[in-house]
Amino acid sequence: MATGLMQTKEHADIQTNGNRAADTQRTYTPATDIYESADHLLLLTDMPGVKPEGVDITVEQNMLTIHGHVSMPKLDGYSLMHAEYGMADYRRVFALSNEIDREGIQASVKNGVLKLVLPKSKKAAPRKITVKG
Amino acid sequence: MLLHRLVDNDFISSLQDMHRLRQQLNRLLATEPGMAEFPPINVFSSDNGALAWAEIPGIDPKDIDISLVNDTLTVRGERRPETAGDSCHRQERLYGQFTRTIQLPFPVEADEVKARFFDGILEISLPRAHSDKPRKITVTSE
């Protein structure tokens, strides 16, 4: 699915995962919601196990890359008995349109959810033009 | 050739991808009230009990309800959408009510159960009931 302002780069992501096969660390594609309002895009990404300092966000040309490093407390004396999810870093790449103000991107992490606010640049914001009588 | 492919890293990682895809599909297709497979839970065990980790990112800890009867743990809750009114381009995260029940291989000392929530993970520590613990009997000489 593509919005005019942002596209997910699933293909690029899979390629990157393939290249990483040599190193044992796998990455997961985190579930993400994208909302749009009049002046910004809002991105919510599930990253359970990631602390605020474990998130790397880079914007290079038009590619926004999110990387979340999982840090789990060590469990001495415990062994894994039943597993329904894997614990590995998260990675996802999005393509931004020129209408996003790259300097104004804000990120926060709360309760394992990364929240990205991507403001639309002033140029792209809808302007109301009043007709003079 | 086949053997080579079987041990190939890419092949193994694509199997893992398929397994993950199946899990995600199962979760998506679980349509009965209280999505059956959410949240995913890992259980660790030790001599003294077990530790359950449930991935519930974005939930308000106040919206989690934990109950325990003998060896059966039930986690209920609701994950609420964060925004309203904006137009949605993509929704992959699950919202709504959930119930998960897991049965442990031992009775639990209910009064000593503790839970904490960190980085989107609910941790429940489940100590084994004192009456159920193996007892060491020392032989005394006369």
In chain A, positions 34-93, which contact chain B (CB-CB < 8 Å)?
A: 34-37, 41-42, 44, 46-51, 75, 77-86
pTM: 0.74
Interface contact flag, B20 A86, Cβ < 8 Å: yes
Distance from B142 to chain A by nearest Cα, in Å? Answer: 37
Burial class (CB in 10 A: 0-12, 13-18, 19+), A85: middle
Q: Where are the beta strands (DSSP E) in chain B?
A: 41-46, 49-55, 64-69, 72-79, 87-91, 96-103, 114-118, 121-127
Mean pLDDT of chain B: 83
| Interface ipTM > 0.90 | no
Indicate the Cα dihedral angle B122, A81, B95, B119, nearest 10°.
30
Distance from B10 to chain A by nearest Cα, in Å? Answer: 6
Residue B54 in tokens: 């449930």
B89 interfacial to chain A (CB closer than 8 Å): yes
In chain A, positions 93-112, which contact chain B (CB-CB < 8 Å)?
A: 110-112
Identify the pLDDT of residue B87. 86
Question: Does residue A125 have a pLDDT over 70?
Answer: no
* Cα separation, B42 vs A26, whole angstroms: 18
Per-block mean pLDDT, blocks of 10 residues, chain B (142 long): 52 72 68 62 92 95 93 92 77 89 91 95 94 84 84
Average the pLDDT over A107-130 and give the result: 86
Q: Where are the beta strands (DSSP E) in B11-63?
A: 41-46, 49-55
Instruction: Indicate the pairing of strand A89-96 with strand A27-28.
Output: parallel
The larger pLDDT score, comparing residue A132 to residue A50, is at: A50
